[in-house]
């Protein structure tokens, strides 16, 4: 299991906006990791006047293999075939 620390630096974030920015970053990371098929044990976010930070512990080192099949006209097909 791996660890990840993501720290974003920015212009000064007003105090009234820090808690929402922290929650939004945490939610976005959870969603992105879930969509990527990664698992984690602990995800924590912190905020300050000039930075947002996410710390992830127990992050899986790789996602499960995914097989994807796409159907459609072949690359370079005439426009009429693409339009249907």
**Per-residue pLDDT, 69:** 87
**Per-residue pLDDT, 84:** 65
**Per-residue pLDDT, 79:** 77
Check if the beta carbon of residue 34 is closer than 8 Å to that of residue 64. Answer: no
Structural domain includes residue 83: no
Structural domain includes residue 42: yes
**Per-residue pLDDT, 18:** 93
The series of mean pLDDT values per 10 residues for the chain, 84 residues long, is 93 93 95 91 94 93 82 76 66
Supply the range of the domain harboring residue 55. 2-60
Structural domain includes residue 84: no
Total of domains in the chain: 1
Structural domain includes residue 39: yes
| Beta strand spans in the chain (E) | 2-9, 42-48, 51-59
Structural domain includes residue 65: no
């Amino acid at each position: 299991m791996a660890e990840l620390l993501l720290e974003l630096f920015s212009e000064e974030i007003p105090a009234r906006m820090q808690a929402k920015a922290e929650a939004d970053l945490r939610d976005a990371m959870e969603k992105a990791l879930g969509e990527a098929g990664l698992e984690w044990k602990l995800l924590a976010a912190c905020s300050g006047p000039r930075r947002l930070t996410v710390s992830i512990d127990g992050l899986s080192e790789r996602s499960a293999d995914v097989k994807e099949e796409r159907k459609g006209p072949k690359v370079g097909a005439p426009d009429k075939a693409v339009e249907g």
